[in-house]
Amino acid sequence: MSVNPAVSRKARQRATMGLIRLLAACVITAVLLTPILAVFWLSLRPRLYSDIVGPTLDNFRYIFVNTNVLTWTVNSLSVALFATVASLLVAAPAGYVLSRAKGRIVSIYAMSIFVIQSFPVVVFVIPLFVMFAAVHLVDTLAGVAIIYVATSVSVACWMMSAYFDTIPKELEEAAWIDGCSVLSAFVRIVLRNSLPGILSTAIYSFLLAWNDYLIALVFLRSDSNFTLPIGLQTFFQQNQTDWGPVMACAVIMLLPPVLVFAFLNRFFSIGGVGGALAGK
């Protein structure tokens, strides 16, 4: 019945060390997340000159009545969801080619995709503005959606390629022998086994489109066409000392990506991208 003192001492040390690490993690996290916590705190704090005491949702009520925040939210969701689906449709097949095909032409293709990442978006933004003006795509959601797809595709290709590399080729070769075409084997065998890779890439594309500021800044001009980043920033510039409503807007903008990530983070991995880059 007696417990070995050495064992219990070691167990206590381990528990103590665990608690110390937990405390350290709490402090580190609190410090690092201060700017984000400030956003939440300010969004619930009554405005100056208000007679309300204590936390309140008044700031949220204010922005729904006095700004187009609902329109901006719908705009952002529409654009981000379209960009996510479209970039997957483009990147998954391209990633498959990168993963499975061989030869000099494929190497050139891979290198082209890689190099495109290194271009500052502003290089494309300037002539795209001219092009889009000519075809009336400036100040439209369709215009920014197209650019979001294009900007996310290069990294999305690499993410899909990295994931496809983890799926054995023998599975497809068996399907080919059974009479499947390359395309149907890709859809039925490879894609069906790639849910984590697809979700990972989808999260990346969604975050890129949802969070974008520069492209929206250049291309969106009307309040009714604003996405949340531009609407929020414009509202902020007009209300620089009235933090409550500004931060309420900010909370609305930050909730979707945080929720997406909270529920799907198990699927998200960017480590594979590094592996794919090294392997090509």
Q: Which of residues 129-148 bind another protein (CB under 8 A)?
A: 129-131, 133, 146-147
**DSSP code per residue over 106-153:** HHHHHHHHHHHHHS-HHHHHHHHHHHHHHTT-TT-HHHHHHHHHHHHH
Neighbours of 65 (CB within 10 A): 8
- The DSSP output letter for 4 is P
- The DSSP output letter for 188 is I
Measured in degrees and rounded to the nearest 5, phi and psi for residue 3 equal -90, 140
11 binds another protein (CB under 8 A): no
**CB nearer to another protein: pick between 3 and 105:** 105
257 binds another protein (CB under 8 A): yes
Q: Which residue has the tokens 């492209």?
A: 215
Which tokens go with 188? 């039925």
272 binds another protein (CB under 8 A): yes
236 binds another protein (CB under 8 A): yes
Which tokens go with 55? 């936390």
270 binds another protein (CB under 8 A): yes
Q: Which of 183, 192, 224, 238 is the binder for another protein (CB under 8 A)?
A: 183
Per-residue interface string for the shown chain with another protein, residues 94-123, x marking contact by CB under 8 A: x-xx--xx-------x-xxxxxxxxxxxxx
Q: Which of 12, 21, 61, 221 is the binder for another protein (CB under 8 A)?
A: 21
The span of 3-11, 56-64, 182-190, 192-200 binding another protein (CB under 8 A) equals: 182-190
**CB nearer to another protein: pick between 50 and 181:** 181
Class of residue 23 by CB neighbours under 10 A (exposed 0-12, middle 13-18, buried 19+): exposed
Q: Which of 137, 164, 229, 248 is the binder for another protein (CB under 8 A)?
A: 229
